[in-house]
Each structure stands twice: as C-alpha cells, then as structure tokens.
Amino acid sequence: MSYEVVGITVLWIFLYGYLIVASIDFGAGFFSYYSRITNKKHVVHNIIQRYLSPVWEVTNVFLVFFFVGIVGFFPDTAYYYGTALLIPGSIAIILLALRGSYYAFATYGAKDSHLYSFLYGATGLLIPASLTTVLTISEGGYLFVENGNVQLLYGELFTSAYSWGVVFLAIVSVLFISAAFLTYYASRAKDKPALEVVRKYALSWSLPTIITGIVVFFLLGKRNPEHFSNMMDLWWMFGISFVTFVGATVLIWKRRNYGTAFVLVMIQFFTAFFAYGAAHLPYLLYPYLTIYDGFTNEAMAIALIVAFIGGLLLLIPSLILLMRLFLFDAEYVEGKK
Amino acid sequence: MFGFEYDPVIYSRILTALTLGFHIIFATIGVGVPLMIAIAEWMGIKRNDPHYTLLARRWARGFVVTVAVGVVTGTAIGLQLSLLWPNFMQAAGHTIGLPLFLEIFAFFFEAIFLGIYLYTWDRFKSKMKHFLLVIPIVIGASASAFFITTVNGFMNIPQGFELVDGVLTNVNPLVAMFNPATPTKVAHVIITCYLTSAFILGTIAAIHLIKGNNHVYHKKALHLTMVSGAVFAIATAVIGDLSGKYLHEYQPEKLAAAEWHFETETEAPLILGGILTEDNEVKYALEIPYALSILAGGTPGSEVVGLNDFPEDELPPLWVHYAFDLMVGIGMYLAAVSVLFVVMSWRKKWNPLNKPLLWAVAAGGPLSMIAIESGWVFAEVGRQPWIINGIMRTEEGATTSAHVDIMFVLFVTLYIILGVTCAVVLRRMFKKNPVEHELEKRGMEQPKRVSNE
C-alpha cells in the first residue's frame, strides 16, 4: 500500500469511529429530550446518563482527530475545504460548542433544566446535518474555483436533492444507531421499562434508515456517475450491509441477542461507509483534489504513521480500560456502582 | 462594521484572537489544575487527611465544567485554523502535521482517564489506585501543551525544511518540532499554567477566609496553593530570564519592540512602563541601567540590537511593550505574594492569614489570568507581520472568504453565552453544596463511605 492509501485508510477508520460513537451520543440527546416531552423521562434518562457521562469527551476527540489528521496527511484539503466551508464549518463548531458545554453544565452542574435538555437534543440532529456538507461537496459540482479562489455555491447546495438526501440519511442513521446501542445497553442494565422504550425507537427508525440509504444511493448515481459506477463494482459490500441490517432488525424484533444486533448494525455501517469511501478514491474532492496531488511529503507521512502506531499502542489499552469500567461492568451498568 | 472596509485578513485575525483568547482561559486551567488536584489527593493519602482528599474532589468537580468549555473552544480553534487560515495550513501542514497530530493523542489519553477518574472515586478499595488515575491526566494535559506550543515555536523560528521556488522540500518534522523557540516557550507556557491555576484556587480559598469562614479546610487549601504558587513563581522567573536570552539571540526585533529599544548598543537600559509619543520618544518611564543587556546577554557589555536596524515593514507594533510590562509586572507580584505568604507561615509568631495578605492573594487569581492573556498577546503580536516568521506574511495566510465578519459576530455571541453560563454554573455548584455541608454529609470520621456522584 502506498502512504497515501495508508493515510486515508487511517483517517477513514477514525471517521467511522466518530460516526458510531457520535451517533450514539447525538441520538441519545434526542431521545433524552423526546422522552422528556412525552413524560417518559424517568424511564430512559438514567441509562442514557450512565453511559454518556464518562465518555462524552472521548467522542469529541474522534472528530478532532479526523480533521487534524486530514490536514496532516493531505495539507491541500485545508485550502479547498477550509476556504469553502467557512460558514457550514463555523455553524458546526458553534453547535458542537453549545452541545458539549451544556451537557457538562447540566450533568456536573447538577441542574435539571428544560432548556439545557432541549439544546442537547436539538443540536444532536443539527450537527450531523451540518457535518455532512463535507461529504456532499466532495462529490463535486458545489464549488466554484477560479484564480485560486474557492467558493461554495449555496444555491446549488440548498436546491440539490442529493444534499438533502444525505442530510436525511445522516439524521435517521444517527437515530437508528443510537437506539440500537441503547437497546443493548438497557438490556445489560436489566432495565426492562427502558428497554421497551428504546427498543421501540430502534424498530421505528430501522425502516426509514434503509429506505433513505437506498434513495441516497441512487441520487448519488445522478450526481456523480463515475463514483456511482465505482460503487457498483463494490456491490457485494453494500450487499453485506443490507444483510446485516436485516439481521439486526430481526434480532431486535424478536427480543434476542441485542449485543449481536448492535454488532450487526456496526458492520452494516462499516461496509456501506467503506464501500462509499473506497469508491470515492482517488478523489478527496471531485474533481479538484486526489489523494496523490494533495499528499504531504514523505518524511511527514512516515512520522505521522509512526506517531499513529505509537498513539494506538497507548490508546487501545486505555479505551479497553474505559469500556471495561463503564460498558462491560455489569454492576456499573446496572447502577450499583 | 467598526467603520472600516471589509477585509478578511483583519477579521480573521480578530476572530482568531477572540477564540484563542477565550480558549486559553480554559486551556490554562486545563493544564494546571490537574496537577493541583494530584498534589491535593497525594497529600490526602500521605497525611491520611480527608480534608485534602475532599479538596481534590471538589476541585475535580469544578474542573470538569471548565474542561468542557476548554474542549469545545479547543475544537473551535482547531477547525478555525483551517477555515480562517487555509493557505497557512496548506503550507504549514507539511511541517507541523506531526505535533498537531500528537497533541490529539495526548488529549485523547487525558480525556479517557478524566472520564475514568471522575467516576471511580469510590470504586477501588485502594486510594492509591484512584490516585494513579490522575497521573495520566496530568501527563496528557501537559503533553498537549507541549505539542501545541512546539507548533507555535515553529511559527516563530521556522526550520526543518528548505524553500525552493516557493515549494517546501526536504522536510524534517522533528527538526521543525524541536526548533530553538521550543524549550523556552514550552517551559514558560507549562509553568505559567501551573502558577495561574495555583493562584486561581488560592483565590477561592482566600475569599472564603476573607468572608470570615475560618474552616480549617480553607486554611489547608490556601497553604497548599500558596506553597505550590511560590515554587512555580520562582521557576517562572528563571524561565522568563531564559526566554529573554532566547529572544535576544533569535528574535531581536521582538525583544526590541517589547523594550522600545531603538539604537543598537551595549549597556542597554531596561524600560519599565512609560508611554511612547508619536515621534518615538519614551516618556514617564522608569529606566533601569544595564538591565536589558543583562537580561539579554548576561553581562552589561552585551550588545542589544535596536529597532532602527530592521526594515520598517518587518516590525511588530510597538504597543506590545504594554502587554510585556503587564505580564512581567504581574509575574513579580505573584512571586512576591506567594513567597511572603510562605515566609509568614514559617514563623510561628506571624499571621499569614491577615486581611491585607488575603486580599493580595485573592487578587492573584484574576491577575494571573490577565498576565496569561497579555503574555500571549505580546508573543503573538510581537511576531507580526509574519504568520510564519520570515517565510509567510499574515495576509498571505488568511482566507479569502467574504463572510468572516458574520462569523465573528456569531462567535462573540457564543463565547458570551458560554462564559456567562460557565460562571453561573460553577457558582451555583459550590454555593449549593458548601464545604461544611459536604464534610457533614460524608461523615468525615469515616470518609470512605460516600455515595457515587
């Protein structure tokens, strides 16, 4: 594998990691607020809080990791995406800032406020929508580049079916992934009432997720035929994605093996996300930037990869410790510690 | 807005200054407070004194709230670097990608252990085990300060690459990271974070004592923070001196601007305070003979390069002198107050808890934060007009986007909201649950039996 491919693979894995952990978090915020206005707060609030409190900060790091990493490996992305995304990027920052800090204010400041809860729920849906702008414009046709000046075509962005499709896909996926995880977590916690609520959420978001997924798949075909035909070459990966989706939904429906169901959901998104990403190569931004012309120098590439391996050696044991203490420790999950 | 024409460079500079200025309040606390928490928890174990353990616990609780704001504003500055300075990041990404990347690892490490630390106060039988969890937090916090400061060092003394026809070649990331600015900058940043945090926590204790709340808990807190503060203040002075020598050798224009030093000469005087007239005359200033030469080179005979030796369009604005003086002045004040407190505590007959000294300590927290801000302003504005010293001018690095002014307004609003809520939440947290109440609730005779929070 060339350094370019190693670099983008590393980054894509981290983006996938963010997709999963952030979805759980974003969806949990929404469900937490939704259950509040439907007077079911006392049922699900506890399990959501028990999971989120120790890990919310870690979630944020995945995102920072990705955007710092991409500038490190592909400095030219800073130029194109940085110039074009000033407004959507800033909006995402503001939403993330409100969300992160108000979560901490509410949790550690020990004040149960309706406003905080609303902010937390609403931003959980708006952030995925604003972050997906990056994926949307990477397909090409949304930028105007002339004399080294890059502009985002807002008219095109807001009127294109594809960009709206991606926004909806992001939101429903967030809710589905999150509900599937919470179902598993509630079953670990042996919290029957909560389990009933979140299981219903998971089932009701499963169908919208797969339908939007298929719709966006075909919208992309219209938007970027080259990317689409590459994706068709990887049809089997999307096939695995679909099969695992069906498997997960059936398990949740039959109230069995919630843990396996969540792993299947993770595979569902892993295969779809990687097939999408692999088919997009070699472009980082169609048609201006490929992973080859935007790549950093060799010395930096080696240094980054070494740092990455060293970092992982440190991180993986720590993450395992975190999960053992808060995710797989039955007594903690059940609320006895 | 502001009556001048829209210029993305100016707005990018103001917005970056705003975000960074807001972020470093929380970043400073984020680097320094974990060490203070560690010291307090350690004292609690060593002396078997539950007061210190409770101190660590309460500090940690307040700390998370500030960490949250630090994390989100740190994310903001991280993204803004690419959004506001795309050309700079495109060029610099080739040389500073490594420390930026490593900083995230350090932060990751810290984030993981902070989550664990906060939720395991009562989970382990051995107190020592829980104490060990704070060590990765201290290391992670200081390591991220280290890595990010090397990036800033690179912007001051860029090296580790060759520039051939405007293209960066022969890059060596480690040489770029360990540039001559790195040792003094990193040491200065980390030690002042420790110093500031010690004083901020000292301020809290002092205010309680001023209010007549004479609980031994607050006395212990004050003593702990002031002894640490004195150590950090002395270290800061030593490192500050080294920083002066570094500037003399590598960035003489910055030192000259800080000191309004116009003519190259030996036996140069140090100028304190004063104002600069329009024809560059220094008025009302206190001059200390030879001091600048000694600061710069170690002997009165050292020659200090003056501003007149540089092309005018490569000089920073001369008002950085005020920021420099403010920083140094406050540094001296903090050293004096903490050392005085320590000396007075040694002597049996002297009372370090007298009102004037308490007030002096109480002022130290806010003042130290002002010193951090003015130190940053001096360091950053002092290298203008360059974004990468000698390589790329600031206006070449900025975005060309047409909307930076709107973003500026949005971010001002955001920071006001965050700042106010953070203050309100912190106040309420500790008002609602005063120390006496918590001591009682935890039954300090059997400090082990406490509920999870």
Tens digits of residue pLDDT in B315-355: 888 888 888 888 988 998 999 999 988 888 887 777 777 77
The answer to whether position B196 is within a domain reads yes
Please tell me the total count of domains within chain B: 1
In a mutational test of the A interface, the residue from B12, B98, B396, B408 whose CB has the highest number of chain A CBs within 10 Å is B98
- Chain A residues in contact with B123 (beta carbon < 8 A): 325, 337
Does the structure show a pLDDT above 80 at A326?
no
Residues 6+ apart with CB under 8 A from B258: B247, B320, B321, B324, B378, B382
B72 touches chain A (CB under 8 A): yes
B175 touches chain A (CB under 8 A): no
Question: What is the helix (H) or strand (E) element at residue B445, kind and residue range?
Answer: none
- The pLDDT of B141-154, averaged and rounded, is 91
In a mutational test of the A interface, the residue from B105, B417, B424 whose CB has the highest number of chain A CBs within 10 Å is B105
Q: Are A78 and B86 in contact (CB under 8 A)?
A: yes
Of B326 and A82, the one with more pLDDT: B326
- Buried b / exposed e along A152-185 (16+ C-beta atoms within 10 A): beeeebeebebbbbbbbbbbbbbbbbbbbbbbbb
- Chain B residues in contact with A58 (beta carbon < 8 A): 108, 111-112, 115
Give the closest-approach CA distance of A271 to chain B in angstroms: 26
- Is the CB of A64 less than 8 angstroms away from the CB of B74? yes
Cross-chain CB nearest to B72 (options A78, A100, A151): A100
- Hey, which residues does B275 pair with through a beta bridge? B283
Does the structure show a pLDDT above 80 at A41?
no
- Is the CB of B115 less than 8 angstroms away from the CB of A61? no
- Is the CB of B94 less than 8 angstroms away from the CB of A63? no
B136 touches chain A (CB under 8 A): yes
- Is the CB of B173 less than 8 angstroms away from the CB of A71? no
Q: Which pLDDT band, with edges at 50, 70 and 90, does B445 fall under?
A: very low
Q: Which pLDDT band, with edges at 50, 70 and 90, does A335 fall under?
A: low
The answer to whether position B287 is within a domain reads no
Give the closest-approach CA distance of A22 to chain B in angstroms: 15
The answer to whether position B274 is within a domain reads no
- Chain B residues in contact with A60 (beta carbon < 8 A): 71-72, 75, 111
Cross-chain CB nearest to A68 (options B101, B168, B414): B101
- Chain A residues in contact with B432 (beta carbon < 8 A): 110
- The pLDDT of B63-73, averaged and rounded, is 87
Lowest average pLDDT, out of B70-79, B263-272, B337-346, goes to B263-272
* pLDDT computed for residue B197 by the predictor: 94
Q: Which pLDDT band, with edges at 50, 70 and 90, does B50 fall under?
A: confident
DSSP class per residue in A3-71 = HHHHHHHHHHHHHHHHHHHHHHHHHHHHHHHHHHHTT-HHHHHHHHHHHHHHHHHHHHHHHHHHHHHHH
Residues 6+ apart with CB under 8 A from A152: A84, A85, A87, A88, A137, A142, A143, A144
Give the closest-approach CA distance of A63 to chain B in angstroms: 9
Q: Are B345 and B337 in contact (CB under 8 A)?
A: no
In a mutational test of the B interface, the residue from A52, A59, A93 whose CB has the highest number of chain B CBs within 10 Å is A93
- Residue pLDDT, tens place only, B155-199: 888 888 887 776 777 788 888 888 888 999 999 999 999 999 999
Interatomic CA distance for residues A254 and B155, integer angstroms: 60
* pLDDT computed for residue A112 by the predictor: 65
- Residue pLDDT, tens place only, B298-318: 788 777 788 888 888 888 888
* pLDDT computed for residue B266 by the predictor: 77
Per DSSP, B162 falls in state E
Of B117 and B392, the one with more pLDDT: B117
Interatomic CA distance for residues B330 and A233, integer angstroms: 66
- Chain mean pLDDT for chain B: 84
- Chain B residues in contact with A94 (beta carbon < 8 A): 410-411, 414
Give the closest-approach CA distance of B6 to chain A in angstroms: 16
Interatomic CA distance for residues B106 and A130, integer angstroms: 27
- Is the CB of A105 less than 8 angstroms away from the CB of B422? yes
* pLDDT computed for residue B3 by the predictor: 53
Q: Tell me the pairing of strands B275-276 and B270-272.
A: unpaired
Give the closest-approach CA distance of A49 to chain B in angstroms: 12
Does the structure show a pLDDT above 60 at B449?
no
* pLDDT computed for residue B194 by the predictor: 94
Give the closest-approach CA distance of A321 to chain B in angstroms: 9
Q: Which pLDDT band, with edges at 50, 70 and 90, does B451 fall under?
A: very low
Residue B303: helix, strand or coil by DSSP? coil
Q: Which pLDDT band, with edges at 50, 70 and 90, does B453 fall under?
A: very low
- By residue range, what is the domain housing residue B420? 8-264+305-435
Give the closest-approach CA distance of B200 to chain A in angstroms: 19
Give backbone dihedrals phi and psi of A150, rounded to 5 degrees, phi first: -110, 130
- Is the CB of A76 less than 8 angstroms away from the CB of B86? no
Tell me, what amino acid is at A270? F
- Residue pLDDT, tens place only, B393-414: 777 777 777 788 888 888 999 9
B71 touches chain A (CB under 8 A): yes
- Residue pLDDT, tens place only, A283-299: 777 777 777 776 777 77
Q: Are B400 and A83 in contact (CB under 8 A)?
A: yes
* pLDDT computed for residue A337 by the predictor: 61
- Ramachandran quadrant class, A296 (left: phi over 0; alpha: psi -120 to 50; beta: rest): beta
Interatomic CA distance for residues A30 and A118, integer angstroms: 8
**Share above pLDDT 90 across residues of chain A, in percent, rounded to a whole number:** 0
DSSP class per residue in A144-204 = EEETTEEEE-HHHHHH-HHHHHHHHHHHHHHHHHHHHHHHHHHHHTT-HHHHHHHHHHHHH
- Is the CB of B422 less than 8 angstroms away from the CB of A101? yes
- Chain A residues in contact with B72 (beta carbon < 8 A): 60, 96-101
The answer to whether position B357 is within a domain reads yes
- Is the CB of B414 less than 8 angstroms away from the CB of A65? no
Does the structure show a pLDDT above 60 at B450?
no
Size of interface A-B (CB pairs under 8 A): 228
Q: Which pLDDT band, with edges at 50, 70 and 90, does A123 fall under?
A: confident
**Share above pLDDT 70 across residues of chain A, in percent, rounded to a whole number:** 92
**Share above pLDDT 90 across residues of chain B, in percent, rounded to a whole number:** 21
- The pLDDT of A112-140, averaged and rounded, is 81
Does the structure show a pLDDT above 70 at B1?
no
Lowest average pLDDT, out of A326-335, B276-285, B440-449, goes to B440-449
Chain B: residue nearest A85 by CA? B83
The answer to whether position B231 is within a domain reads yes
From the DSSP assignment, how many helices (H) and strands (E) are in chain B?
Answer: 14, 8
Question: What is the helix (H) or strand (E) element at residue B167, kind and residue range?
Answer: strand B167-169
Interatomic CA distance for residues B260 and B150, integer angstroms: 27
Cross-chain CB nearest to A111 (options B104, B105, B428): B428
- The pLDDT of A216-224, averaged and rounded, is 80
Lowest average pLDDT, out of A155-169, A265-279, B50-64, goes to A155-169
Tokens 């049922």 -> residue: A43
Per DSSP, A85 falls in state T
Give the closest-approach CA distance of B64 to chain A in angstroms: 7
B76 touches chain A (CB under 8 A): yes
Interatomic CA distance for residues B229 and B236, integer angstroms: 10
Burial of B68 (0-12, 13-18, 19+ CB in 10 A): buried
- Chain B residues in contact with A319 (beta carbon < 8 A): 112
Question: What is the helix (H) or strand (E) element at residue A283, kind and residue range?
Answer: strand A283-285
Lowest average pLDDT, out of A88-102, A248-262, B259-273, goes to B259-273
Per DSSP, B446 falls in state S
- Is the CB of B78 less than 8 angstroms away from the CB of A57? no
Which contacts qualify for B126-134: CB closer than 8 Å, 24 or more apart? B127/B44, B127/B45, B127/B53, B128/B45, B130/B41, B131/B38, B131/B41, B131/B42, B131/B45, B134/B34, B134/B37, B134/B38, B134/B41
Residues 6+ apart with CB under 8 A from B139: B106, B109, B110
Two tokens, residue B203? 């301020």
